[in-house]
């Protein structure tokens, strides 16, 4: 088994997790502000579903941070002399209750983050068929995660390690399935928004490509982290302990990042249309562009299909063709001064043309 000493890894990983956790708290506050402002501009109530999910992710990363802090204190200070084998043996033992608890919290946090991503994909595609495979992967992640936590908790004291075959297979399955879920859903989201942007490109002035970039950035950040921890684990490296502690706050950060970046971009765009119809247009675009984040709206392919006809230049030409009978014409040629009423009565309207030139 190669990699960092576990006691040193615990110190470094807990410190970095604390930094990321503090950053996630800041992003949580900004996320709540963005959700409130987007709702105010759109003239609707705050989306409490997204608020609840944001709070749930913060709670998960908070509990994980607390457990890691307790684990570091127990292994490096409280149990330093009394634990058989010292700090390294303490951090090596998988069935130690702090290790089991932190992995249980990580499993729940991962399933929650992946579930949110799948729900966003459904909102954009508006069909369960597209997300059927990611949902299957999600259930595989849930089953393998529960089995991994259970298999770790029952390992005998002193001979246990996460690299044993009975534990290794479930942990590998969990990492692989959640990585596949995140990668596939990110591709589906980016592809749907991209093809929708191409389909309506001629009917709108703005572009959805920045949304694709935000989703891709968040997906790449999380996928790279999962790939790193999976690579360390299959190589029996202690580096997987180091990276694993950073994933919980990263899950929260990637969720907040999508809402914040799109929300700030739309706030800036709305400020550029500070008056008149430009403001209304900007707000409407903001609502359409962020509807999948807030869990509302129609399918992406059904958006922005209408063309504002009141802005199209139209010219109308009306021509009137009249026909006069022979008797009237003869009277006129002979100088007949009959009444105007008789002449009008003898006239017959035979056609009407309307030409619209755009």
In a domain, 1, yes or no: no
- Residues 179, 258, single domain; the answer is yes
Q: Which residue has the tokens 């900004």?
A: 30
- Residues 170, 21, single domain; the answer is yes
- Residues 225, 346, single domain; the answer is no
Tokens representing 13 are 């990983």
Give me the phi and psi of 153, to 5 degrees please. Answer: -70, -20
pLDDT in the model for residue 203: 66
- Residues 248, 172, single domain; the answer is yes
Q: What is the CATH number of the domain that holds 217?
A: 1.20.1070
Last residue of a domain, one of 307, 324, 345: 307
Last residue of a domain, one of 307, 323, 349: 307
In a domain, 200, yes or no: yes
- Residues 351, 268, single domain; the answer is no
What 3-state class would DSSP assign to 106?
helix
- Residues 320, 185, single domain; the answer is no
pLDDT in the model for residue 29: 94
In a domain, 291, yes or no: yes
H helices within the chain, ranges in order? Answer: 6-42, 48-73, 86-92, 97-125, 132-153, 165-199, 209-234, 239-272, 276-289, 291-294, 326-333, 340-346
- Residues 337, 233, single domain; the answer is no
pLDDT in the model for residue 273: 54
Give the structural domain span for 349: 313-357
User: Which whole-number Å values give the CA distances from 164 to 1, 96, 117, 173, 294, in the listed order?
Assistant: 12, 16, 32, 14, 43
Per-residue pLDDT tens digits for 283-311: 344 444 445 445 444 444 444 444 444 44
Q: Which residues have a Cβ under 8 Å from the Cβ of 204 and sit 6 or more positions away?
A: 285, 304
pLDDT digits (tens), the chain, 358 positions = 455 778 888 888 899 999 999 999 999 999 999 888 878 877 778 788 889 999 999 999 999 999 999 999 998 988 888 888 888 888 888 888 999 999 999 999 999 999 999 998 998 888 889 999 999 999 999 999 999 999 988 888 776 677 777 788 899 999 999 999 999 999 998 888 888 877 776 666 666 677 778 888 888 888 899 999 888 888 888 888 888 889 999 999 999 998 888 887 777 766 665 544 443 443 344 444 445 445 444 444 444 444 444 444 444 444 444 544 544 444 444 444 444 444 444 444 333 333 333 3
Residue 267: CB atoms within 10 Å: 15
Last residue of a domain, one of 266, 283, 307: 307
Q: What is the pTM of this model?
A: 0.73
- Residues 76, 221, single domain; the answer is yes
- Residues 156, 205, single domain; the answer is yes
Domain count, the chain: 2
In a domain, 139, yes or no: yes
What 3-state class would DSSP assign to 339?
coil
pLDDT in the model for residue 211: 75
- Residues 322, 267, single domain; the answer is no
Half-sphere exposure of 324 (CA within 13 A, CB side): 11
- Residues 163, 86, single domain; the answer is yes
Going by C-alpha positions, the residue among 5, 13, 85 that lies closest to residue 245 is 13
- Residues 247, 107, single domain; the answer is yes
Per-residue pLDDT tens digits for 211-220: 778 888 888 8
Q: SS3 for 174-219, per residue?
A: HHHHHHHHHHHHHHHHHHHHHHHHHHCHHHCCCCCHHHHHHHHHHH
In a domain, 346, yes or no: yes
In a domain, 302, yes or no: yes
* C-beta separation of 39 from 46 below 8 A: yes
Tokens representing 67 are 């457990």
Per-residue pLDDT tens digits for 312-345: 444 444 444 454 454 444 444 444 444 444 444 4
């Amino acid at each position: 088994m190669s990699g960092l000493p576990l006691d040193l890894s615990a110190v470094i990983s807990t410190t970095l997790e604390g930094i990321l956790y503090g950053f996630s708290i800041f992003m949580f506050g900004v996320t709540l502000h963005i959700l409130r402002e987007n709702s105010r501009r759109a003239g609707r109530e705050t989306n409490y579903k997204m608020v609840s999910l944001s709070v749930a992710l913060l709670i998960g990363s908070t509990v994980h941070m607390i457990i890691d802090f307790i684990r570091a204190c127990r292994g490096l200070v409280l149990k330093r002399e009394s634990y058989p084998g010292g700090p390294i043996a303490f951090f090596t033992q998988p069935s130690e209750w702090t290790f089991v608890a932190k992995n249980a919290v990580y499993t729940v946090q991962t399933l929650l983050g992946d579930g949110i991503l799948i729900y966003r994909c459904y909102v954009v595609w508006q069909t369960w068929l597209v997300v059927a495979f990611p949902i299957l992967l999600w259930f595989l992640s849930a089953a393998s995660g529960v089995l991994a936590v259970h298999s770790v908790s029952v390992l005998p004291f002193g001979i246990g390690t996460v690299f044993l075959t009975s534990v290794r297979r479930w942990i590998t399955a969990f990492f692989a399935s959640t990585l596949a879920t995140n990668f596939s859903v990110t591709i589906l989201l980016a592809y749907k928004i991209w093809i929708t942007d191409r389909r309506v490109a001629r009917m709108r002035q703005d572009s959805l490509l920045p949304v694709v970039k935000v989703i891709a950035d968040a997906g790449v950040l999380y996928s790279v982290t999962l790939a790193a921890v999976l690579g360390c684990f299959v190589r029996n490296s202690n580096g997987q302990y180091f990276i694993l502690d950073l994933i919980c706050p990263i899950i929260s950060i990637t969720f907040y990042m999508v809402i914040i970046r799109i929300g700030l971009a739309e706030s800036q765009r709305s400020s550029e249309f500070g008056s008149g119809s430009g403001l209304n247009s900007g707000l409407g675009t903001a609502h359409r562009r962020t509807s999948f984040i807030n869990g509302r709206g129609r399918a992406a392919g059904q958006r922005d299909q209408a063309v504002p006809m009141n802005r199209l230049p139209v010219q109308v030409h009306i021509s009137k063709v009249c026909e006069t009978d022979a008797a009237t014409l003869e009277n006129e040629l002979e100088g007949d001064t009959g009444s105007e009423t008789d002449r009008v009565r003898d006239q017959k309207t035979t056609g009407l043309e309307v030409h619209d030139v755009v």
